Structure 1
Amino acid sequence: MALRSLSLALAVVIVMCFGMGTNALFSLETEEGNDEAIVRATYHLYLPEKNNWDLGAVNAYCTTWDEDMPFAWRQKYGWTAFCGPVGPTGQASCGRCLHVTNVETGAETTARIVDQCTNGGLDLDYHVFMSLDTDGNGYFRGHLTVKYKFLDDC
């Protein structure tokens, strides 16, 4: 009976930690304005190069605020949706850039936030995802484990 109770308690802890709708593995808050976290990153087919880097064409959340930004600004970095546990959300995150690192391989890139998501991490444009997935394991699993950090300038 004690073993069953222990197993049930352990199952409850696991569900509480990992099954509550977030894919955040853990996060760290560093200096103010220098927030970072380790999260799960999936991919989304924004395909901005095929959509003329038009936020409205892909129904991105940030279209309202960023669709009139210069073409060069919209195409400077690959796109991502952001719903991480650390950092600004909603309109405050639109247009911000993230330094994203694949924690398994060390591959890194910069991505611009153009959308929201609900997976608790990042939903990277396919090409951004593939540039980080240098060993192919992320595509095979359907996600990468990445560290993100907000950049002050981009």
Structure 2
Amino acid sequence: MPDTGTTRRDLFKLGAATAAGLIATRLGATSAEDPPAAKRLPEGPFNPATAAAMPTRNLGRTGHLVGLFSLGGQAAIEKSDNEKVAIPLIERALDLGVNYLDTSARYGGEARWSEHYFGQVMKRRRKEAFRHQDPRPHGGRFPAAAGDFPEAAADGSRGPLAAPCHEHHG
């Protein structure tokens, strides 16, 4: 004769389901009195043309967005006494929405022409782009500590980017 009552197995299943439900509810619960603190980003450069001009990507874990295209400080920008070409090239890149610039103490030889040209533009347009400064001085040695960065471009900013990053050249 079949027994139609509740079995020990049924009680075990019911208890396990209830416990799982309580745990899941507790893990996902937030208190109305304790809302999660909104993480405020430090103010970074903003180029209004970037989002309309190209796709953007996160700049590491900073929460800031940079355009898919950037401008590096070699070629025409590292040549000596090439201001008539280098300055308009940097200006045009910013006008087109580029908001990530890359330079190095090694670009442009001992005179550091690349830094000089970027600095001339960034004096006026610093709030439009992140400027990555390769921290290696002309010998290629990485600095031992953050305070060991060489003085950067003529815009007066120091060290690498406003937010540290690692970039790959390809």
With the shorter chain as reference, the TM-score category is under 0.3
- Choose 1 or 2 for highest CA Rg: 2
Return the structure number with greater helix share.
Answer: 2
Return the structure number with greater strand share.
Answer: 1
TM-score, with length taken from structure 1: 0.27
TM-score, with length taken from structure 2: 0.25
